[in-house]
Every structure is written in C-alpha cells, then in structure tokens.
Amino acid sequence: MAHNDSAPRGGHGAEQGHGAAGAAHAAAHDAHAHPTWKQYRWVAVILTAITVVEVWVYYIPSFTRTKLFVPSLLIMSAVKFAIVVLFYMHLRYDARLFRALFTGPLIIAIVTLISLMFLFGHLAIRLAS
C-alpha cells in the first residue's frame, strides 16, 4: 500500500514522525509553550490600558499639538498590534513558517503605505535648504 502515514501535530516543523504518540498528544493540549488563562487575561488588561492611554492623550490639547503626538500613538498601536499577533494569534509559539508568511506581506504593506505617503506629499524629507 503506497500511502504515506504520519501524525503531524501542529506547532513545530521538527515534530515529524510522532506516529501514535502524536495522536495521543492531539487529545491533550499542545506539548509546546502555550499561553495560559493568566497570560490571556494580562494581554487583555494591557490592551485595555493602552487604549485608555491613547484616548486620554487625544484629549490633551497641549500634547496633541507637539511633534510627539503622532509617533506616540503609532507606537502604542504598534504595541497593541504586536501583542495580539504574538499572543492571541499565537505567532510567538507557532512554527517560524507562519511568522514568515505574516511579516513578509506586513512589511511590504507598510513600506508601500509609507511610499504612497511620500508620493502624495503627506510626508517629506527636507534636504538641506
């Protein structure tokens, strides 16, 4: 019978050939690192906290007028983005392949967006006058 059987279990590329043991693993939760309820709760708390700060900061006119306002918002939302992706979407604990499949397009998307900002005049690098 020419049919390849193996018991791949999600997570690590190196986990080939687990055979029956892999099936037993499938019944319990994954053997590799896995966020716990505590961690999920912490992530939720941090997400809420950052959102609160973002909105709070929006209502401080003296801050919104500074050059720091936009970068600080971008950083805060980048952090929120990252922790949802790393922890909720499990990218921190999953196979490196998924990280590559996500960050590649993400980088190209961000670079394209920034290029378009330059091309349409919303961003400018001021050379020596």
Q: Which residues bind other proteins (CB under 8 A)?
A: 1-17, 19-20, 23, 26-30, 35, 37, 40-41, 43-44, 47-48, 51, 54-55, 58, 64, 69-70, 73-74, 76-77, 80-81, 84-85, 88-89, 95, 97-98, 101-102, 104-106, 108-113, 116-120, 122
CB of 54 to other proteins, least distance (A): 6
**Do the beta carbons of residue 97 and residue 13 sit within 8 Å?**
yes
Q: List CB contacts of 24: < 8 A, sequence separation 6 or more.
A: none
CB of 103 to other proteins, least distance (A): 9
CB of 77 to other proteins, least distance (A): 4
- Tell the burial category of 48 from Cβ atoms under 10 Å away from its Cβ (0-12, 13-18, 19+): exposed
Of the candidates 88, 83, 99, the one whose C-alpha atom is nearest the C-alpha of residue 35 is 88
CB of 50 to other proteins, least distance (A): 9
DSSP string computed for 47-60: HHHHHHHHHHHHT-
CB atoms near residue 114 (< 10 Å) = 12
**Considering beta carbons, is residue 2 or 128 the nearer one to other proteins?**
2
**Do the beta carbons of residue 102 and residue 81 sit within 8 Å?**
no
**Considering beta carbons, is residue 33 or 113 the nearer one to other proteins?**
113
